[in-house]
Amino acid sequence: MSGVHQFVPMLHLGDAVGQHTEELQALLRRLGVRSEIYVELEDPETGHLTRHMDRYAVDAAPGDLLVYQLATASDMAGWLASRQEPLVVNYHNLTPPELIAPWDNGLARHQVRATGERDRLAGRSVLGVAVSEVNRADLVAAGYRATAVVPPIVRLIDGCGAADLDAGGRAGGPPEVGTERTEVGAEGTEVGAEGAARPRRRGARWLSVGRLAPNKALEHAMVSLLAYRMRHDPDAELVIAGRPAFPAYARALRRFAAELGLARAVHFEGRVSDRTLAGLYRSADVLVVVSAHEGFCLPVVEAMAHRLPVVALARGALPEVLGGAGVLLDEPDPLTVADAVWTLQSDKAARARAVANGCDRMVSLGLAGAGRRLVDLLLAARDRRPWPGEVRTATR
Amino acid sequence: MTSAGPTPDDGAGTLPAFLRELTGSFRRLRPQGSLRWNFSDAWVRLERSRARLLEDIGDQQPQPRGGAGPDGGERRGARTPSLDVLGRARARLRPLFETAAPQDRQDARWREMTEALDAALEALRYLTARVEALEDAAELHRRPVDGLDWLMAPQPLGHWAGPVSDRLAGAGGPVLHAECGAGELALALAIDRVVEGVEPRSGVAWTATEAGLRVHPVPVPDHLAALEPEVLGALVLSGVVDRLALEDLLALVELATGRLQHGGVLVVIGTDPAVVPADPLAGELLPGHPLRPETWALLLERSGYREVATLEPPAEVTAGSTFAVGGRRP
C-alpha cells in the first residue's frame, strides 16, 4: 500500500519544522494514509517517533510519495535525489550564510551546502511547497517547475488555539489599553520565565521570541530600546525568549547589553516552555521583530493571537505574514523603532487598531486550513492527479 | 572628521549618525573578523565559488550515488559524485591542457592541479580552525575593562577648557577627546576647532550627542585603531587612562602617538591616584590604578614627546582631584 513518507534530518520537539512534520503525519494517518517519519540522525527525545532513513529501503512500496522537510543541509538530500519515487520538497527557508559567517564559520558553510542541495533537488522534485511567497521565490529561482505556498502547520501555544483561528480571534476583543497584562506573583514581583521572580516592572515591556541567531539582529532591538529609554520611558525593558543557537552571538549580545548600560533592562530567558511563553506574550506590551531575514516568523502569529501588537522590520517574509497588521518599518533606525513602540503605548486608538488588525490577519493567513491544503497537494502528487489551482507551474 | 555643531535631530545629524555607529559597533564583538575586514565572509565566498564550480562541472550529466533500482531497492555500482566531477572537469579542461602540455602529461598535470587546489583549500580550513582557536583564547583572556565602563560615571571636565585650549595652541587639524563623557570639555574646545568625542558608555554618549557633539560610541583603543595614521591635530585622553593596566596604557600611548600629526599635541587628564581609594567600588573593580602626573610626564617623555609639562589647573579644580599633562609629538 502506497504512502506519503516524510524525511527530515533530525526531528526536534518544540521546533517549528518538527512540529509541522509531526502534525502533517497525524493528518495523513487520520485519512488512512501510511506515513512514517525518516531521519538521518536520531534525536533521543523523538526516537520513538522516527525511523532511520536506511530503513526506507525495506519499507518502500510502489506508488510512495516522499516529502523532504528542507531547513538545513543533510546527506539525506543526495540520498533522496537518487531515489526513483516522486519527491516533494517542503521548504522552510535557509538563513543566508553571509549573516551567519561572522559568528560561526562551520554553520555558514553548512548553509552554503544546504543552498546547493535545495537547488540540486529542483530537477528531481515534482513539487516545491514553500511556507511563504518569499520562500517560493527561492524555489522558483532554483528552477522548481511546480510550486505552491502553504503556511506551516502550527499548534499554537495555549492561549491562542484553534478556536481563535477559526473564530477570527476576536471573541475576547482587544484588551483595554493600560490594562495590567502582567502575571503578578508574590507581592512586588512578577513571575518570569520558568517561574523565576524578578522585580515588578514599571516601564514598557518589549518582547522578542526566537532563537538567538544573527539573522534576528537583536542588537538593533537593544539600541532601539536604549533610544526608547532615553526618549520616552527610562524603565522600559526587553525580554528575549529563545535558545542561544549561536553561542558566540549570544555572548556578544550579553556583552553589548552591558556596554549599553542595559544589563538590568535586557532579560535573556533562554528556551522556555509553552506555558511560560504564553505568560510572556500576555505580560508584554509589544513584540519587536527587527530581523534581517525571516522565512516565516511564527512569533508574529503567536503575538497576534495573544492580541499583542507587533512592530516589525520589512525583511524576508515579515511583510507577507504581518499583512498590514501591526507596524511595519522600512529601516531598522532605532529612533523610528522607538517612536513606533511609543505610538502603540501612548495612542489607545492606534494600539486597538493594531490588535484588531492582528486578529483579522490571523484568520486571513489561513493557518487553520494549512494542514488540509498541504495534504491535498501531497495526495494529488502521489496519485498523479492534476494540481489544485494554487500550484504555479513554470516552463523551462 | 566632522565638527561639533549640527542639531541633534536633523535628518543627517548627529543623533542618527551616533545611533548608526552605536549599532554598528556591535560588529566588533564578532569572534571572526573586525570592523574593517571579515575572514569568514571571504571564506564563505571561497566555499561558495568552489561549490558552484563543482556543481557547474558536475551537472552536465548527473550520476547519483546509490540510486533506487526498478524494484525500489538500492542500485549498486553507480560512480561516486566526486569521481564523476573530476572526470567531467578533466574533459572540460582538456583543451586547455592540450595547449599546455603533451598528451601523455595532460592527466598528470590535471591531477597535480586539483591536488594543489585541494591542498590549498585544506590548508585554509586548518588556518580557519587555528584562527578561531586563537580568537576564542583572546576572548577568554580579554580584560573586563570595557564591561565595567557602564558602572562608573564620567567626571565633568569642562573646567579644564582654558588650560587645555592654551596647550592646544598651534596644533592644526582635528581634535579628539576620548573619553569625552557628556561632552562638556569637547564642546568648549569646539568653539574654534573641529572636535569629536569618543565615549563607550552609550547613555553618556547619548547625552553628549544630544548636546551637539559628534560622538563615536566605541572603546577608545578600538576607535584609535580604526583611524588613519597621523590624522589628529590633538588628542585629549581622559577616563580610559584611569582604568587601564600599565601594559595597556603603554599600548594606548603608542597607538595615540601614531594617530597624531607631527607637531600634534597629546593631553592626558588623569585622576589623582590619591583620591581613588575614596571610591571603594573603583578600588575593587579597576584592573589598573591611575598614574601620578609625574609618571605620565615620564611616560610621554620616554615615548618621544617634547615640551612635556603639567598643565596649570583651573581654579575650579579641587586640589588633587584631577590633573593634566601635555606634550607635543616631534
B-proximal residues of A, 126-155, CB under 8 Å: none
The domain total for chain B is: 2
CA dihedral (A267, A271, A273, A277) positive or negative: positive
* A145 and A186 assigned to the same domain: no
Determine, for residues B44 and A108 on separate chains, whether the beta-carbon distance falls below 8 Å. yes
Of the three residues B121, B141, B161, the one that is the final residue of a domain is: B141
Q: Both A211 and A138 in a single domain?
A: no
In a domain, B2, yes or no: no
Do residues A328 and A322 make contact, with C-beta atoms less than 8 angstroms apart?
A: yes
* Chain B touched by A61 (CB under 8 Å): yes
Which residues on A lie below 8 Å from B147 (Cβ)? 255, 258-259
Do A100 and A210 share a domain, yes or no? no
Same domain, B172 and B303: yes
Nearest CA in chain A to B71: A62
Looking up residue B243, the CATH number of its domain turns out to be: 3.40.50.150
Name which of A60, A97, A223 is nearest B19 (Cβ-Cβ). A223
- A146 and A273 inside one domain: no
pLDDT value of residue B110:
65
Residues A259 and A382 both lie in one domain = no
pLDDT per position as a tens digit, B121-177: 667 767 777 776 776 666 544 444 444 544 567 888 999 999 999 999 988 899 999
Dump pLDDT digits (tens) for B67-99.
Answer: 333 333 333 333 334 434 455 555 665 565 556
Asked if B259 and B137 sit in the same domain, the reply is no
Nearest CA to B177 out of B216, B151, B142, B144 is that of B216
Min Cα distance A7 → chain B (Å) is 16
Q: Is residue A396 part of a domain?
A: no
A304-318, A321-335, B27-41, B216-230 — which is least confidently predicted?
B27-41
The Cα A7–Cα A53 span in angstroms is 8
CB pairs below 8 Å between A and B: how many? 128
Residues B156 and B215 placed together within one structural domain of the fold: yes
Which H or E run contains B268? strand B260-271
Q: With beta carbons less than 8 A apart as the criterion, state whether B236 and B175 touch.
A: yes
What CA–CA distance (Å, rounded) separates B213 from B190? 9
Say yes or no: B311 and B240 in one domain. Answer: yes
Q: Is the model's pLDDT at B279 over the cut of 70?
A: no
B30 falls within a domain: no
**Distances from the Cα of A47 to the Cα of A75, A182, A271, angstroms:** 19, 38, 21
Q: Best mutation site among B15, B21, B22, B136 for testing chain A: the one with the most A CBs within 10 Å?
A: B22
- Contact at CB, B51 and A256, closer than 8 angstroms: no
pLDDT per residue as tens, chain A (396 positions): 799 999 999 998 778 899 999 999 999 999 999 999 999 999 999 999 999 999 999 999 999 999 999 999 999 999 999 999 999 999 999 998 888 888 887 788 788 889 999 999 999 999 999 999 999 999 999 999 999 999 999 877 544 444 444 333 333 333 333 333 333 333 334 444 444 444 556 899 999 999 999 999 999 999 999 999 999 999 999 999 999 999 889 999 998 998 888 989 999 999 998 899 999 999 999 999 999 999 999 999 999 999 999 999 999 999 999 988 989 999 989 999 999 999 999 999 999 999 999 999 988 988 889 999 999 999 999 999 999 888 999 865
A18, A146: one domain: yes
Range of the domain at B60: 39-141
Kindly report which listed range (A118-127, B37-46, B310-319) carries the lowest average pLDDT score: B37-46
- A341-375 burial: b if 16+ Cβ within 10 Å, else e: bbebbeeeebbbbbbbbbbbbbbebebbebbebbb
Pick the more confident residue, A311 or B202.
Answer: A311
Question: What total number of domains does chain A contain?
Answer: 2
**In the prediction, which pLDDT does A166 show?**
38
Residues A271 and A210 in one domain: yes
Q: Do A142 and A204 belong to one domain?
A: no
Return the pLDDT at A340: 97
Nearest CA in chain A to B41: A101
- Cis amide bond preceding B179, omega within 30: yes
Domain-located, residue B56: yes
Classify residue A309 by its DSSP letter. Answer: -
Q: Are residues A344 and A372 in the same domain?
A: no
Q: What is the pLDDT of residue A294?
A: 94
Q: What is the CATH number of the domain that holds A224?
A: 3.40.50.2000
Chain B hits for A82, CB-CB cut-off 8 Å, are: 64-68, 75, 78
Please indicate, yes or no, if residue A16 is contained in any of the structural domains: yes
- Interface ipTM: 0.80
Question: What residues make up the domain containing A374?
Answer: 4-154+367-389
Q: Are residues A56 and A170 in the same domain?
A: no
Q: Is B84 within a domain?
A: yes
Domain co-membership, B90 together with B196: no
Find which of A109, A262, A331 to mutate to test the B interface (most B CBs within 10 Å of its CB).
A109
> For position A139, what pLDDT does the model report?
97
Same domain, B137 and B156: no
How high is the pLDDT of residue B63? 41
Give the residue from B122, B141, B160 where a domain finishes.
Answer: B141
Specify the pLDDT at position A170: 34
Cβ–Cβ gap B66/A120 under 8 Å: no
- The whole-number pLDDT of residue B132 equals 67
Q: Does A256 touch chain B (CB under 8 A)?
A: yes
Check whether residue A173 and residue A318 sit in a common domain: yes
Among A95, A260, A335, A339, the strongest candidate for a mutation testing the B interface, having the largest count of B CBs within 10 A, is A260
- Residues A280 and A144 both lie in one domain: no
Q: What is the mean pLDDT of chain B?
A: 75
